[in-house]
């Protein structure tokens, strides 16, 4: 497994850097270092014609001969770019002994830092690194991003740098500056720079700055995070996460999604799970109010969709009662996403003409069920938070006339890498859940279509088929529906 690196950009302007090697690879490294303003010394027996010319023009200094540890005196950074691993190894060991950062080209094992693939929109730079594990992958990603990133971004960054003092003087709160920069990026400023109309772009920036509010107004965005796979996050959700000052998130929101949020946003876990509400709903609402009234942009990040068993409606009613501005960004609810990732169509022309979403997180919610209606044939039940109520679900449905052989799919950690699917029947549901230690977070799908998980699965490990053998045949679905 590749070592996880800490990304940084080094300021080398005017600093001495040593490159050991005088060939074509060293020549590429020297060019990049000179562009960064470094004072480069090249140590090698011979130089390429280009490097020799650089030396003749005093662009670089030179050490002649084989590597000598004294070359490391007074340098800040070292690059070994020879084709002799023994030499590279000696350079690496000597540099590490002096606590100097060293890169050995194409040798991650000997390197204490990696030179990333760079997308240059100076002064804007984007670096891509595979920690030395797959340089070709980093280069391929660079090629793709080169086609996506506007060349006018460089002039825009320079213009914003020139205006930085004025922007900070007018907009003293960081949240106000973030909002302003978002407005700039969504305006026609970039279009004007792309068209070479720099003066008009400057005027447009000044107009935006003059009209920017100078006091922060707090607000709340209810954001659906989906069931776990970060690729299911909507663009609006990603934008809200990158604008947030504070994020109140549920326990089930995956770390991969939280990693997409703005790095310096305050994160508060208000985790809730069946039977363990360690932060009450009243406390959550009090936190929303506290941070919004302090002028912060608050994201209330919920697993799935905030309006599907997410108590989003209650939170909006509370915010409206207290005159707090709010928005809602829907998410892909677990009933849809987990079924899709398990290969279970919630409706099917031959087996189910309707689908119902129900929650079974408490005994009280089960008491409100219309069991006869839920046990009706040719429909699908998607049961949220039902793992802790499996025995009661089975008893209620069987008591209302549902056949014991109807298929059930238990989908744990749906859409995530650790997804596990257990296919069983309603009659065997408690036994299967106990045998395979089914646990939350999990979604139950009850209905003839649940059996299709055994044949239509495509994501993650193949399902565990725990149905009686005679019900595993494709015809079993028709028999169950009969």
Show which residues are catalytic: 250, 272
Strands 407-412 and 420-425: antiparallel
> How many CB atoms are closer than 10 A to CB 60?
22
Tokens of 39: 């004072």
Name the nearest CA neighbour of 377 among 448, 468, 470.
448
Bond from prior residue into 441 cis (ω within 30 degrees of 0): yes
Tokens of 278: 């360690």
- Between the alpha carbon of residue 235 and those of residues 83, 146, 228, 239, 330, the distances in Å are 46, 21, 15, 6, 11
Tell me if 240 sits within 8 A of 223, measured CB to CB: yes
Residues ≥6 apart with Cβ < 8 Å to 281: 311, 314
């Amino acid at each position: 497994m590749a070592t996880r690196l800490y990304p940084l950009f080094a300021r080398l302007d005017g600093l001495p850097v040593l490159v050991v090697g005088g060939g074509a690879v060293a020549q590429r490294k020297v060019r990049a270092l000179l562009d960064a303003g470094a004072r480069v010394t090249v140590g090698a027996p011979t130089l390429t014609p280009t490097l020799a010319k650089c030396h003749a023009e005093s662009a670089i200094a030179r050490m002649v001969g084989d590597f000598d540890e004294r070359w490391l005196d007074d340098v800040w950074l070292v690059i070994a770019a020879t084709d002799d691993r023994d030499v590279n190894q000696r350079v690496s060991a000597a540099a590490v002994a002096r606590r100097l950062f060293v890169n050995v080209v194409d040798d991650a094992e000997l390197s204490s830092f990696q030179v990333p693939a760079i997308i240059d929109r100076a002064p804007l730079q984007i670096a891509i690194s595979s920690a030395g594990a797959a340089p070709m992958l980093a280069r391929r990603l660079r090629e793709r991003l080169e086609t996506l990133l506007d060349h006018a971004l460089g002039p825009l960054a320079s213009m914003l740098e020139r205006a930085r003092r004025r922007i900070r003087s007018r907009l003293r709160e960081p949240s106000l500056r973030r909002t302003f920069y978002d407005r700039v990026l969504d305006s026609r400023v970039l279009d004007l720079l792309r068209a070479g109309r720099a003066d008009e772009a400057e005027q447009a920036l000044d107009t935006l700055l003059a009209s920017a509010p100078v006091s922060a107004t707090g607000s709340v965005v209810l954001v659906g995070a989906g069931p776990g796979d970060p690729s299911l996050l909507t663009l609006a959700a990603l934008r809200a996460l990158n604008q947030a000052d504070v994020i109140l998130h549920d326990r089930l929101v995956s770390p991969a999604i939280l990693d997409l949020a703005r790095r310096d946003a305050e994160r508060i876990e208000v985790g809730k799970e069946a039977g363990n509400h360690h932060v009450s709903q009243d406390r959550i609402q009090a936190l929303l109010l506290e941070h919004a009234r302090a002028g912060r942009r608050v994201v209330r990040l919920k697993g799935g969709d905030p309006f599907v068993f997410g108590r989003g409606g209650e939170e909006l009613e509370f915010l409206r009662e207290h005159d707090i501005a709010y928005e809602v960004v829907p998410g892909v609810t677990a009933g849809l996403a987990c079924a899709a990732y398990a290969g279970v169509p919630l409706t099917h022309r031959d087996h189910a003409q309707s689908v119902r979403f129900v929650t079974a997180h408490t005994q009280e919610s089960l008491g409100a069920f219309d069991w006869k209606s839920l046990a009706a044939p040719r429909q699908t039940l998607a049961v949220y938070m039902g793992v802790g109520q499996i025995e009661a679900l089975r008893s209620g449905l069987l008591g209302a006339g549902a056949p014991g052989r109807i298929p059930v799919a238990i989908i744990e950690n749906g859409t995530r890498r650790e997804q596990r699917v257990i296919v069983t029947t309603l009659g065997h549901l408690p036994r299967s859940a106990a045998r395979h230690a089914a646990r939350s977070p999990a979604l139950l799908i009850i209905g003839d279509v649940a059996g299709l998980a055994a044949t239509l699965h495509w994501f993650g490990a193949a399902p565990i088929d725990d149905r009686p053998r005679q019900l595993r045949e494709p015809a079993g679905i028709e028999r169950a529906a009969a």
